[in-house]
Chain A
Amino acid sequence: MRSFVENFPFFSIFLALLAGIVTATIRSGRVTYWITVCVCAAAAVLNAAVLEYTYLGDLNFTYTMGRFLAPYGNAIKCGPFQALLATVFSAVMATSLAGGRRDLFQDVLPEKQRLYFVMVDMLEASLLALTYTNDAFTGYVFIEISTIAACALVMAKDNGPNLIATIRYLFMSLVGSGLFLIGLTVLNSITGYLLMPSLAEAVAELRITGDYRIPLTVSVGLIVAGLGVKSAMFPFHLWLPDAHGGATTASSAILSGLVLKGYIVLLMVLILRVFSVELLAELGVTNVILAFGLLGMILGSIAAMRENHIKRMLAYSSVAQVGYIFMGVGLGSAEGLIASSFHILVHACCKPLLFLCAGRLSAVSGHHKSLRNLRGSAYRDVGAGLGFTVGAMSMIGIPLFGGFVSKLYFANAAVPTGMTAMILLTIALSTVLNALYYVPALLAIWVKPPAEDEAAVLADVHPEELAFDRSFTAAAAVLTLGIFVLGIFYHPITDVIEAGVRLI
């Protein structure tokens, strides 16, 4: 008899899909908001229960839909790794919505609000499904669902530049999913499977016999490139700053903190479960990922330094952080993947916090977004100022904050490779660059401008905006706490990730 907990991953996906349908029928934006937040929170609780069950039992399980067994039916596979990520993703989704609440109800037209939440529910479902799926083609379907939902979140704030950013995002995503799909087709043509365990067996056999080496390389390359485009791997990141920088606060937080990660998680699962790290190293794919990751770390930060628009600066910083994650994947070892997974968690707490605080700081400065106009804004909402400071410190990598630990793990993972010096130098350089744009941003928000400048900015501010924002403060507090937990009590978390990678 199976334990009842094993149903929870499926329940959480199904709950999110169901919430999407229900919210579409309800008129009131407020009600749909609460439904969505509750569903995300419930998914977090359900997945936390799965995490406890799988980690304490040191096990993983495969859950088949309906009564169709492996070769016919669809399956999800769950271990501590997936459960941990799903828990964090759902919790961050709920807090991002809560934190961006005021902006959201201002930016989105009242009659469109319920549709916005339909898209958030779909995004939650697809993120969970991408994390849990055991079938490569289901992965593809949910990639497309999350593409449409993510584009809709960008265009929810209905102004011209956002429409253009959305169409660019959509077309880049289409390129990505096209590459992924043809990669999958090629893989299917040489192995005959799409279910991950059968694929893994077939690929392992191909690796030993050496047959179909070229199609295999092409397929792996296409899959990596496709998912890379979607998650803004360095040379394919040009769509990101406009899309993430222009959207409403909650959308930016969700897109930057979570949606990019969904694709990377799928890539990691494919690497670990299907291709194996050794095969990727043999084919030379890891070196390419490593190179793109390192370039992204540097060039993303340089682009962020040149940006004055605070949200676009944060968006470019996401490019750099995705570079870190891909660098970890490109190290071609289990340690690298563990470091990357940890960084996914850190960034999933950190970037939403920064976006929420930036949104709040700009709200108390008359919705201006350039750093010049945000001077001294931290004093108008101290909570947002402190949250932004914590997020920035973690991004730079100060000890006790989450970002430091992931840099430590990256550095550790880099030691056994042949390119230790280069990787460590790049990490150091990227840290300096991070400091070079986060410190000026911190100075800007904490240093008071001349009185007449401040008066000019305050003239644009709606008096309601200055009122204490309860849901924002609560969300920022939760995310700040998350960063400190990841920075101080990181051992249990890395243990979970290690167990998860072993049991994947």
Chain B
Amino acid sequence: MLSDILQNRYAVTAVILFGVGFTNLMLQQNLLRKVIGFNIMDSAIFLLLASLGYIDGGVAPIVGDRGFDPLYINPIPSGLVLTGIVVSVSITAFSLALIQRIYRRYGTIEMRELLERAKKEDD
């Protein structure tokens, strides 16, 4: 059991982090905390991805004439992490801008209050 966890320590950490981020994103009322929750969730995924491609003692994947000794690290997950980071940065920037806009208009970033205020405006 313990050795299983140790062997899969990256995956286990990633799942725990994902859970932390996911619950924050779903349950927090404060919009900024939701954004932070989303960032934790994405970091968990990046950790999982980066650990997937890693080979102990492997070298950077630069193709030369020395064959496969030592082994290359799989470059695809690393590439995915980079793409994922770009996506997550842009989404974070977008949501922060939106939150700022909301704060200027309503003076609060608590989801519950905002929903009540919106309902009143709708009537």
Contact = CB atoms under 8 A, between A and B. Distances in A.
Given A155-B98, A178-B45, A164 B114 contact: yes
B94 A161 contact: no
Given A167-B98, A175-B25, A178-B41, A161 B76 contact: no
A321 interface: no
A170 B98 CA distance: 10
A174 B38 contact: yes
B3 interface: no
A144 B42 CA distance: 13
Interface in A128-150: 137, 140-141, 144, 147-148
B25 to A, nearest CB: 6
Given A181-B84, A182-B45, A194 B25 contact: no
B83 A141 contact: yes
Contacts of B34: 171
A431 interface: no
Interface in B39-60: 41-42, 44-45, 48-49, 52
Instruction: Name the prevailing secondary structure of the B interface residues.
Output: helix
Given A178-B42, A185-B49, A160 B83 contact: no
A178 B46 CA distance: 11
A178 B25 CA distance: 11
B115 interface: yes
Contacts of B105: 160, 163
Instruction: Name the prevailing secondary structure of the A interface residues.
Output: helix
A151 interface: yes
B31 interface: yes
A174 B95 CA distance: 10
A500 B101 CA distance: 45
Interface string A151-167: 11001000111011111
Contacts of A242: 118
A160 B41 contact: no
A62 interface: no
Contacts of A188: 49, 52, 77, 80
Given A167-B99, A170-B95, A178-B42, A161 B90 contact: no
A144 B92 CA distance: 12
A242 B21 CA distance: 25
B122 A161 contact: yes
A238 B90 CA distance: 25
Nearest to A246: B122
Nearest to B122: A161
B33 to A, nearest CB: 11
Nearest to B99: A167
Contacts of B84: 181
B121 interface: yes
B121 A163 contact: no
Interface in A33-77: none
A106 interface: no
A189 interface: yes
B94 A170 contact: yes
A167 B31 contact: yes
A7 to B, nearest CB: 25
A160 B117 contact: yes
A155 B45 CA distance: 29
B113 to A, nearest CB: 10
A178 B40 CA distance: 11
Nearest to B94: A148
Contacts of A167: 31, 95, 98-99, 102
Contacts of A148: 90-91, 94
Contacts of B115: 164
B5 interface: no
Greatest chain B CB density within 10 A among A148, A160, A175 is at: A160
Contacts of A165: 118
Interface string A344-357: 00000000000000
Interface in B91-117: 91, 94-95, 98-99, 101-102, 105-106, 114-115, 117
Contacts of B87: 140-141, 144
A194 B90 CA distance: 23
Nearest to B114: A164
Contact of B22 (A144, A163, A175): A175
A221 to B, nearest CB: 14
10 contacts: A144-B91, A160-B118, A164-B115, A167-B31, A167-B95, A178-B22, A178-B42, A185-B52, A188-B80, A194-B76
Given A164-B102, A170-B98, A171-B38, 12 more contacts: A151-B94, A160-B105, A161-B118, A163-B101, A164-B117, A171-B95, A174-B25, A175-B25, A175-B26, A178-B45, A181-B84, A185-B45
Interface of A: 137, 140-141, 144, 147-148, 151-152, 155, 159-161, 163-167, 170-171, 174-175, 178, 181-182, 185, 188-189, 194, 242
Q: Nearest 7 pairs between A and B by C-beta?
A: A161-B118, A144-B87, A164-B118, A178-B41, A174-B38, A164-B114, A163-B102
